[in-house]
Structure 1
């Protein structure tokens, strides 16, 4: 299965590039261009009245796509924001005690690590880090207000496979469990139906959703964090039971909305999801294609002397291969000089795969690595 024809604009824009960073800035399919144009056309046609369309059918369609992908029982639990950091800040603000006792893996993304370090520095939080394979047991020992874990770790590709055990710790009064699904959403099949009433789940369009930046989302379980302290006027709700002057909130996921935003990401996301449906492309079929390419690359032994941190097995796998070696930075630079795009995190090279690649691309990458 190859679908290069769906990415004709991105591929033709830089025809000599070999792009193996689908886990980072995934190439945009042609459908996303159509979605971007539609956003502009609606703004030109409707002007001020565009918000009725955006906050109505456009947002509702995006919610329905996400709910179907994650097997969520109720699409209205989903809110949108330009980035997932917004949601972290709002969730944290809703916890009524200080310092907040936080448990996280030792492999969370820079955004979380930086913000948490600053909260610790300011006396707002106390942080305990645990290896991914020890996180659940540590959570079960108790004593935390917030448990934060990536579904797939961004640096190593390790997968947290015990979400149900983790979710079992969650209660409306605390602790709250937040799963960062940015490397899981539309990368591995994810069924949250059994735990949707207990966990927060955040992700976005930049990677495997193929829709670019500006379209991140949060699934917020009912009854958890009903009144975030950090809030925007889009989260307003006319609750007649409130005393005059009180701050009201939507009762669904809308309680986590912020303020005015660029809605073009929603249009792109919807257009991409419609394209996938029309082509019969699912997360499972993309994963099968990706694993085939990954096996081909591993068997080609393109990186001798490097340690593969996430070996291929029979179960779910990250959309990238993570290789550790001391020459990772220099090798990354040498590849970039030849217009071969992967990425590097310290001494770890990440090679990402997607549906705009085929076996010939993998052979070419392996040949270039052997030449270097």
Structure 2
């Protein structure tokens, strides 16, 4: 298939592009390389993709550019769209709300309009576990009410789900929303906890644990996110003939529209997460316990019954294995040198890294058949 991937140089987007290329698809990438975090990391991800999976066209374009997006769809005519670009971050939304309106609302509208004017087989877009907001009944089900977001970021993701439904209803666009739960792994964003925490531990800086470290998070390793996504890609939704308007299900409708949770379904206490990072890095953290921050949810825990039903897959990589892979990449990419108390763990992580292909030159692998 010819697939447009937005956010192609981002964390999830880069893994998605790599997998689609290796599976034999034609990929067009889009990214605006904004300065939310150092664009050098995005450039490094692109080098990694091209070494591992080959070259692909990448358009440096902002989603909110109405004319540019219209030209992109008219000229490229993608068969499938994987929309992963967004302004991310809960706390950033407290200080920069307009960025979320432009990227997550105006930008998504331009994607929907492109799919409307030049019909696609399937639109798959990223939502977030943050939409569950004030809901404290766990595990979170896609059939739960999500009308009480706790941040503008979460509200923008809920709005994306509603916008997609309206376009599915009005124009028959098959649209699938994926609620990602705390994605982590090599090449992750530097504003996310694995890199923030690992850097603080290595540099001996205080590790700020909000809600006094009592959060629990459903960590999901990046490979499990991508496996779920590619299994859903060839399954565009159809209208649910059993949908009851008087007792409506929140995850489907008569329109070709669906929602899925993608999470590890194994929530981990933040303190246990830090304990594991300490062991893998070979250093103790200086923990600073702070109150709950505005916009934070207490716990996340995914019910993935619908994902398992429709893909015969559920995330498999546990936190210890996933963080071991992450630390292997982290110590290499950020050139962490052995120090007192770090030598054994560092050597182990470097050896682990040698078994991975992240940011390593080498022969390009053969692409598999789609």
Q: TM-score range by the shorter chain?
A: under 0.3
The structure whose RCO (Cα within 8 Å, separation 6+) is larger is 1
Q: Which one has a bigger Cα radius of gyration?
A: 1
Q: TM-score, normalised by structure 2?
A: 0.24
